Structure 1
Amino acid sequence: MGGYKIAGFQRVDDLLRELARTSARTVFVSGGTDFINNSLGENAELVIDLSQVGDLKFITDYGPEIRIGAGTTFATIAASPVIQAKACALAQAARQVGSVQIRNRATIGGNIASASPAGDSLPVLAAFNAAIHTAGPGGGRVLTLAEALCGLNANEVITEIVIPTPGESQSAFVKIGSRSQVTIARVSLAANLYLATDKKKIIDGKAALGAIGKMPVCPLKLEQFFYRRAVDADFAADLALLLGEIVDEMIAGRASHPYKKSAVKGLAYDLTGLLFDACNQN
């Protein structure tokens, strides 16, 4: 793993110029939390360190959308008042990424690029219909999360994530793993709901399950469940039943099926508590 060169840049423009002229097999590193574990450097000829590119580190509130630089760390996202106010689920997910040390290094762009089925930010981005912006020698692209997770082009780098925030919503993220702290998700759940002004009925909503397949899934049944749904005493129980049915349909026959069916029902109650505690505080 020692035959590569390392390059670093402070501006995106300088990075793109290097990408346009190099023919080397290139690997990008930002936080670097997966670089050794995943042996990413074994076949690389050039490792580009993105951690010093200041243009990739920002959180900007534009009203109907939030833009997050791909180099923004999870520690920064977790502490952001903008994220907490307008995309609370992402702040909750950021706080559960690894350890404090990992959150200080790991970036949201890296979480997407590594495309781990257990990536904590991914169900949240799916539930918010986030757009993934990239740049490279072939120009810029705007991708859906699913498109980005299927793989980027050679020498293409994620530059920013755009989260639509057209109106006030309530969102939450929950996960379960093998332990209570510093755990990799065995199953996770994120939801983003728009409520009526009296907060007694859901106008619309979307949810995503993580660590069930290769990428987050947003079952149509969940959207239909949320649409015009009353916020009542049966909400959590009905959601748990539906999630169990969805897991049955998706992974029946897998060794993990019984565990995940039971776990996702518990997540339904955890998610409901977070969502409607937030409603009562607002």
Structure 2
Amino acid sequence: MIPSFDYRVPTTLDEACGLLWDHRETARIIAGGTDLVIRLRDGDVKPECLIDITRIEELRRIEESGGMMVVGAGVTHSEIASSLLMRRYGQVLSEAASWVGSPQIRNLGTLGGNIVNASPAADTVPPLMALNATATVISRGGEREVPLGQLFRRPYETTLKPFEILAQVRFPKLSDRDRSGFIRLARRQAMAIARVSVAVILQVGRGRIADIRISVGSVTPTPQRLSEAEAVLEGKTPDEERLRRAADRVSQTMIRCSRIRPSAAYKKPVVEALFIRAMKQALQIQ
């Protein structure tokens, strides 16, 4: 049974920040509610005040601004997946959003919720890491820009203060030279939590990889770029041997960060195979 609470529905960010400041020790923010409602029902969280941000238009926008893509925290996964702007300038995020949960969850769940839930298996976070995304965090005292990776303290815990709201994420628009790949593995292709997901963004010039960014989900406790694997490929020809060497760096990072969890042995060949598939998808080779 869900306990009783005060329910507020602000229509502006200023109003939401004021409410959160006034109730900062006892309030929770709700948007899609796909995770929070379950936790309320199970008694895992017991807020005295629930602040519904779904009517704040500032959080519902997908915009292009000064060479950047700006996506509000209240934008749903369905809206990201179907956005023509996102398909052109943030394809890897659009692809990931199309795989989140069921159609019902995609219609309700928001980008901000997927981020602040801080699940290692969040589908949208590896693409955002590969996109070099930053988060705009606001409060009654002002706003701050945070590299996305710095939002995560540990699994299911962020660095957000009790009175702060994630308002939007920003990332540089992908150009015509950028290629991207996103692959996920779950018990079922959709409607299941990803066991492993891989996001890759790269550029190729004269047969060599000129720039590459790699991030993997469900592999490390908190999101990160896989710089060791990137270094293996940067400036090199992406032949099969080079891809295998980079894949080994990916799995070694997983083993080191997971502290030899029982699942690491199973995941090693899986994450290596998925990484190579994502690379070939980005490189447009079979």
Question: Given the two structures, how large is their TM-score scaled by the length of structure 1?
Answer: 0.90
Identify if the C-alpha distance between structure 1 residues 162 and 23 changes in structure 2 by more than 3 Å, giving closer, same or farther: closer
Matched residue type, 1:179:
R
The 8 Å contact of residues 35 and 41 in structure 1, kept in 2 or not, is answered as: no
Question: Which deviates the most, 160-169 or 81-90?
Answer: 160-169
Q: Per the alignment, do residues 23 and 155 of structure 1 end up closer, same or farther by CA in structure 2, a change over 3 Å counting?
A: closer
1:221 paired with 2:228, answer yes
| 1:206 and 1:226 in contact (8 A); partners too | no
2:38 corresponding residue in structure 1: 37
Conservation of the 8 A alpha-carbon contact between 1:75 and 1:94: yes
> Given the alignment, which residue of 81, 84, 87 partners 2:84?
81
Q: Does 2:14 align with 1:13?
A: yes
2:172 counterpart residue number: 164
> Which AA in structure 1 matches 2:11?
Q
> Residues 202 and 227 of structure 1 are in contact (CA less than 8 Å); yes or no, is this contact kept in structure 2?
yes
CA distance in 1, matches of 2:174, 2:264: 37
Offset of residue 25 of structure 1: 1.0
CA RMSD of aligned residues (A): 2.2
- Residue 194, structure 1, aligned to residue 195, structure 2: no
1:114 corresponds in structure 2 to 117
Shift of 1:178: 1.8
| Secondary structure at 2:237 match in 1 | coil
Identity of aligned residues (%): 27
- Superposed, 1:43-122 pairs within 5 Å as 43-122=46-125
* Deviation digits for residues 158-192 of structure 1 (CA, Å, limit 9, x no counterpart): 11100123744112221112222212011111111
Is 1:154 the counterpart of 2:162 in the alignment?
yes
2:223 is the alignment partner of 1:177: no
Bigger share in strand: 2
| Mapped partners of 1:41, 1:5: distance in 2 | 17
1:242 shift after superposition: 3.3
CA-to-partner distance for each residue in 1:98-132, whole Å, 9 max, x for gaps?
01110001111111111111101111111122100
Gaps of 5+ in 1: none
SS of residue paired to 2:168 = strand
Matching residue of 1:204: 211
Q: Tell me by how many angstroms 1:41 deviates.
A: 7.3
Question: Which residue of structure 1 aligns with residue 26 of structure 2?
Answer: 25
Q: Matches of 1:4 and 1:252 in 2, distance apart? A: 40
Take 2:229 and 2:215, find their aligned partners in 1: how far apart are those partners? 9
- Separation in structure 1 between the aligned mates of residue 44 and residue 143 of structure 2, nearest angstrom: 25
